Amino acid sequence: MSAPHLGEIAPDFTAETTEGTVTFHSWKGDSWAVLFSHPADFTPVCTTELGRVATLESEWERRGVKVIAVSVDPLESHQGWKRDIAEVAGSEVGYPIIADETRAVSELYDMIHPGEGDTSGVRSVFVIDGSHKVRLTLTYPKSVGRNFDEILRAVDALQTTDRGPYSTPADWRAGERVVIAPAIPTAEARDRFGDVEELTPYLRYAAEPAR
């Protein structure tokens, strides 16, 4: 199965998790979601990653994002590992971890990395919007822990640009200036956005309009 592409509906599934049985679409409802896979329980990099996601609970909530992790390890393993994560991170894992022993979810989202052992998923991330559309994907190798500040930043950028017509430039952070869509003439941009800085006819900056 190939990984879901940007703009496609994230495939639905029902799976056992540390928070009970989850049917993905009804669990997330019209919230955004971050679905992320990790190779194996009781491993160092994964422990730091799941701990970091747990400490960011209020940041996910603030953006209306539900997080859900997946690995092919069994439920009892996840439950034991959660205690280690809480101890290391200083935060309880309040989000579900899918026990994907049959690899049904991992295969549905193409999270298994050929040549890396037959049981482990790679470090995939799917950011899914309130309409269940896949909005961003990332795939990291086992050796490289993900940067969850970047995932939050990308969610901010997606949610901001949904209110466009504008995009976010390199290294943008929430609250910084946006770039106006090239299709909008500069005169119209000035009417709509007020102060517009025109660096080139196609690169125009403006403050994000108040919500």
Q: How far apart are CA 25 and CA 132, in angstroms?
A: 7
Told to check if 78 binds ligand BEZ by CB under 6 A, we report no
Catalytic, out of 10, 22, 46, 179: 46
Is 46 tagged catalytic?
Answer: yes
Told to check if 88 binds ligand BEZ by CB under 6 A, we report no
CA dihedral 46, 50, 51, 56 (to 10 degrees): 140
The binder of ligand BEZ chosen from 78, 135, 142, 204 (CB under 6 A): 142
Number of residues that bind ligand BEZ (CB under 6 A): 8
The 8-class DSSP code of residue 73 comes to S
Give the pairing of strands 97-99 and 65-71: parallel
Told to check if 43 binds ligand BEZ by CB under 6 A, we report yes
Considering the complex, what minimum distance in angstroms separates the CB of residue 70 from ligand BEZ?
14
CA angle (131, 137, 140) in 5-degree steps: 150
The binder of ligand BEZ chosen from 15, 22, 35, 46 (CB under 6 A): 46
Positions that interact with ligand BEZ (CB under 6 A): 39-40, 43-46, 120, 142
Active-site annotation, residues: 46
